[in-house]
């Protein structure tokens, strides 16, 4: 469970115009439960919200903002349920396979640059979907203190079929913009995860670890809207995003002060998959450098409370979303406190 408080600002190119990304409040969470029927077999269920984006732009005058024809507000949430079976052949090697069930919802508003008595036309899209994928992993303990894991999670095609598309336009334009159903493709990219950790010290009180996560972002090459009822003004639109694959690098260390308390510290770098000429306000993606710290308390056997705090370095990036010729500088700064509970029987 984490709370994200995010802020981003937009400064238009060559202008004194500014807007703020208001109330971005993501709630990524992670739940994991495992059961060991035998010594070698274990069954687990992970519930995870790996991707989520909820943002609403507003300009500093409090009016409809400059990028409203690209996006006004957008909420995209995906939750994955991953039942996994793992088997340990021996003390050195084990494998795990599972399948992934993902659900997603999308809800967005944008303006249409055709004006009537009440100003711009608008479009509201709301829909949900679900689909399956799989994961597979291998865990190796080559020698005392070391553990290495490799895990792959497949791409999941999230096709929102028949989302509700509601247009609000001047009466003379309604026949061109009929209320509609729309298919939206929102692929969740595949991940390849490689992690390694090493425990050392007299009490094994130290642990250091690294994690490399390769995200196959290039699967997200455009955001496609395919309207069911087609008119000269409404049809199939593909908004190119042309994401590039990226590697997320994480490093961390943990120190157990005693049996009751452990502290940890870490850092990560999550490079943006977005090219400079495709930087857009739908996902104002910046290279993220984050620092984390946290501690765990074990008040009684089997139970722990984990608290963490993530601070993202303020980042700044200038770019243009060239298909729409929308140019400016984005700035972000996030802090993500987290709280976890775990109990083992």
Partner 1 sequence: MKKILFIILSIALFASCERKIDTFKVDKGNANFTTYIAMGNSLMSGYADGALYHTGQKYSIPNIIAGQLQLAGSGKFVQPVVTSEYGVQYPGSTSKYILGYSSDCKGVTSMGPVHAEGTLEPLAPVGYLVNNLAIPGAKSFHMLFPGYANYNPYYARFATSATNMVVQEIAPLNPTFFTIWLGDNDVLSYALTGGVGDTITSPGFFQQAMGGVLTALTVNGAKGVVANIPDVTAIPFFTTIPYNGLVLTQSQADSVNMAMHLYQLPFVYKKGPNPFLVADPSSLHPMFKVRQMQPGELVLMSVPQDSLKCRGMGIINPATFYPYPIPSQYVLTMDEVYKIRVATQAYNTILASLATHFNLGLVDMNAKLREFQKGIMWDGISLNTTFVTGGIFSLDGVHLNPRGCSIAANYFIDAINAKYSSKIPQVNITAYPGVKFP
Return the number of the residue (126 or 331) whose C-beta is nearest partner 1: 331
Return the number of the residue (287 or 335) whose C-beta is nearest partner 1: 335
Return the number of the residue (44 or 337) whose C-beta is nearest partner 1: 337
Q: How far is CA 221 from the centre of its chain?
A: 16
Contacts 24+ apart (CB under 8 A), 175-181: 175/231, 176/231, 176/232, 176/233, 176/234, 177/112, 177/121, 177/231, 177/233, 177/234, 178/229, 178/231, 178/234, 180/227, 180/228, 180/229, 180/234, 181/227, 181/228, 181/229
Total residues at interface with partner 1 (CB under 8 A)? 47
The reply on whether position 171 binds partner 1 by CB under 8 A is yes
The reply on whether position 16 binds partner 1 by CB under 8 A is yes
The reply on whether position 261 binds partner 1 by CB under 8 A is no
Return the number of the residue (7 or 159) whose C-beta is nearest partner 1: 7
Identify which range of 26-34, 133-141, 213-221, 301-309 contacts partner 1 by CB under 8 A.
301-309
| DSSP 8-state secondary structure symbol assigned to residue 273 | -
Q: How far is CA 292 from the centre of its chain?
A: 18
The reply on whether position 334 binds partner 1 by CB under 8 A is yes
Per-residue mark of binding to partner 1, 54-83 (x: CB under 8 A): ---------xx-xxxxx-------------
Per-residue mark of binding to partner 1, 314-333 (x: CB under 8 A): x-x------xxxx--x-x-x
Residue of the chain from 195, 271, 337, 340 that contacts partner 1 (CB under 8 A): 337
The reply on whether position 128 binds partner 1 by CB under 8 A is no
Cα–Cα distance, 305 to 145 (Å, whole number): 24
Q: Is 328 within 8 Å of 10 (Cβ atoms)?
A: yes
């Amino acid at each position: 469970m984490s709370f994200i408080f995010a802020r981003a600002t937009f400064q238009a190119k060559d202008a004194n115009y500014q807007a703020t990304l208001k109330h971005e409040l993501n709630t990524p969470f992670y739940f994991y439960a495992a059961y060991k029927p035998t010594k070698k077999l274990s069954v687990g269920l992970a519930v995870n919200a790996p991707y989520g984006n909820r943002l609403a732009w507003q300009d500093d005058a409090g009016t409809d903002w400059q990028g409203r024809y690209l996006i006004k507000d957008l909420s995209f949430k995906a939750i994955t349920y991953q039942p996994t079976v793992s088997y340990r052949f021996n003390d050195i090697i084990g494998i795990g396979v599972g399948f992934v069930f993902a659900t997603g919802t999308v809800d967005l508003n944008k303006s249409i640059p055709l004006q009537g008595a009440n100003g711009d036309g608008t479009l509201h899209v709301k829909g949900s979907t679900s689909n399956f994928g799989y994961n597979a992993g291998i865990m190796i303990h080559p020698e005392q203190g070391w553990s290495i894991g490799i895990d792959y999670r497949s791409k999941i095609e999230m096709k929102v079929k028949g989302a509700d598309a509601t247009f609000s336009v001047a009466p003379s334009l309604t026949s061109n913009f009929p209320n509609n159903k729309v298919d939206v493709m929102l692929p969740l990219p595949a991940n390849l995860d490689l992690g390694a950790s090493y425990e050392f010290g007299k009490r094994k009180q130290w642990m250091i670890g690294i994690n490399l996560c390769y995200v196959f972002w290039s699967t997200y090459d455009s955001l496609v809207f395919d309207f069911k009822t087609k008119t000269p003004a409404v049809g199939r639109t593909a908004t190119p995003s042309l994401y590039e694959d990226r590697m997320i690098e994480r490093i961390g260390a943990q120190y157990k002060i005693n049996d009751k308390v452990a502290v940890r510290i870490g850092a990560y770098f999550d490079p943006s998959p977005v090219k400079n000429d495709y930087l857009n306000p739908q996902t104002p993606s910046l290279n993220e450098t984050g620092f984390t710290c946290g501690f765990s308390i074990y008040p009684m056997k089997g139970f722990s409370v984990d608290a963490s705090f993530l601070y993202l370095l303020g980042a700044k990036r200038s770019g243009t979303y060239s298909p729409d010729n929308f140019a400016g500088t984005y700035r972000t700064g996030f802090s993500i406190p987290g709280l976890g509970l775990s109990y083992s029987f």
